[in-house]
Structures are given as C-alpha cells and as structure tokens.
Amino acid sequence: MIQIALLCMQATSEERPTMSEVVRMLYTQLAAEIWEESQQIEVTRRQDYETLQRSFNWADDSIHNLEAVELSGGR
C-alpha cells in the first residue's frame, strides 16, 4: 500500500497512476494476500492431518501389539 501511495505522490500527473489503476493494484494486492493466507491455512490443515494420521497409525500398532500379548498365553 505504501508503494501505491508513493506512486500517487509523483510530481506530474503523467507519472501518477489513474484511480482505476490504483483500484486494480489494491485489488491485486488484496487477492495476493488472500491467496497467501489460504495457502498458510492449507499447510496447517495438511500438518494437522499428518499428525492425526500418525496418531491413528500408533493406535493400530498398539492394537496389534496388544493382540500379540493376549495370544502369548497365560503366565
């Protein structure tokens, strides 16, 4: 936003962007920020899913180990 503001402060009107250009630049920046935020959310979801998946794998291993102990006979 600061860069856009600096562009708007140029000495001559030919060097300054039009309002439609300013709106487009602001919209593009907003779209880029929304995209970046959505990518960060996706990374967090993926990490949560992998953590959850690992915990289920651990539970499966524990069940298998428990069955092996039960099948070993009395003590």
pLDDT of residue 58: 52
Full-model pTM: 0.47
pLDDT of residue 30: 84
pLDDT of residue 34: 84
pLDDT of residue 52: 81
Q: Please give the Cα distance from 67 to 16 (Å, whole number).
A: 75
Burial 9-38 (b: 16+ CB within 10 A, else e): eeeeeeeeeeeeeeeebeeeeeeeeeeeee
Q: pLDDT of the chain along its 75 residues, tens only? A: 888 888 899 998 899 999 999 998 898 888 888 888 888 988 898 898 888 877 766 545 555 555 555 556 666
